Amino acid sequence: MATLSDVAARAGVSVSAVSRVLSDAPETRVSDETRERIKRAARELDYRPNSAGRALRSARSNVVALVVPDLMNAIFIELVRGVEDAAIQHDYLVLMGRTEDIEPGDERARKLLGEGRVDALLLQPGDRPHVVDAIAGFAQTKPVVILNSVEANAPGSATMPDEAGARTAVRHLIELGHEKIGFVGGVPENPTNARRASGFRSEMAAAGLEVDEHLTTDFGYTPDEGVRAAEQLLSGDRRPTAIFVANVNAAIGVLSAARRLGVSVPEDLSVVALHDSWTAENSWPPLTTVKMPWYELGQRAFDEVYRRIRGETPTSIVVDDPAPRLIVRESTARLRAPRQP
């Protein structure tokens, strides 16, 4: 097994220089050419650091916790992949958890965040804003980055361009000739709901269209809440011809309720959702969606928390590259002209 001395000999540098470069020590002062030569020598020799020993020397575990509302939620797959891909570049592991594990006073929270098990926390609160308060004690001693379900530009946050994504979705419906457009949103206290509702209203206003408040709901993002919203919007006389759903999971519920109510999608109703996932592609009909940069959010969020681990100043991030992208499937269609009597 290769040692630090072996890497140093091949790279033609001191053992201390190799140690600093391979541990990403912030005080390292070497040229880019020397840094690359050391890393190339380590790769060629298949050098593997002693993680346990390094953790003892640095008082770090080289583990970060990523906590999301639901580990089974297809939306978070790209987020997890982005965090893991960025983490592996810095020789970090990712420990997964659920927001239910972060209840105040819960033993699971202490085991997940306490006892020196993790160096930092990436937290996606979802519709449970009290979770942010529950980790206040941990945040006093360890870096924390709050993901998306938080006010944009809040210190130590990483968010996405929800308003731009919503505008992309609504613009698609307007371009198909729809004017009577409904909005299925999240719970009012969720900052993402406010941003997506703002995007919906802004795009309607830009097209000179009025928002019918009877065609808007704010029940939440789950399939069951999507069913509830669709039942309200589709059961009366003032039905919309199209609906923008602010979350793909709720959109699955909208499609289910529409079938049960005898409303054909997209012949009678066009549906477009924010976020893309395998569930959207495999629903019936397959859902038109707006793909948001979840993978890039994961990468950037880890990079930010890693900066914090190294002692750098917290910043806020809005991940808007790549921009929200429309994926047209079979749940949207051009508005049909009314039948002549």
CA 272 centroid distance within chain: 19
Q: Which residues of the chain have pLDDT under 50?
A: 52-53, 55-58, 340-341
Strands 181-184 and 216-217: parallel
Residue ranges with strand state E in the chain: 63-68, 93-98, 120-123, 144-147, 157-159, 181-184, 216-217, 242-245, 270-274, 288-291, 317-318, 325-327
Q: How far apart are CA 110 and CA 130, in angstroms?
A: 17
Looking at residue 340, its pLDDT comes to 44
Looking at residue 20, its pLDDT comes to 76
Question: Which of 136, 145, 124 has the alpha carbon at shortest distance from 316?
Answer: 145
Residue ranges with strand state E in 258-324: 270-274, 288-291, 317-318
* Amino acid at the residue 153: N
Looking at residue 107, its pLDDT comes to 60
- Which residues 6+ apart lie within 8 Å of 326 measured at CB? 168, 169, 172, 288, 289, 290, 291
**CA–CA distance from 193 to each of 84, 137, 337 (Å)?**
27, 28, 32
Q: What is the mean pLDDT of the chain?
A: 85
Q: How far apart are CA 144 and CA 82, in angstroms?
A: 17
Per-residue model confidence as pLDDT tens digits over 272-292: 999 999 999 999 999 999 999
Looking at residue 327, its pLDDT comes to 97
**CA–CA distance from 161 to each of 156, 294, 319, 322, 324 (Å)?**
17, 11, 7, 10, 8
What's the pTM value of the predicted model, to 2 decimals? Answer: 0.79
- Preceding omega of 322 cis (within 30 degrees of 0): yes
For residue 226, give both structure tokens.
């999507």
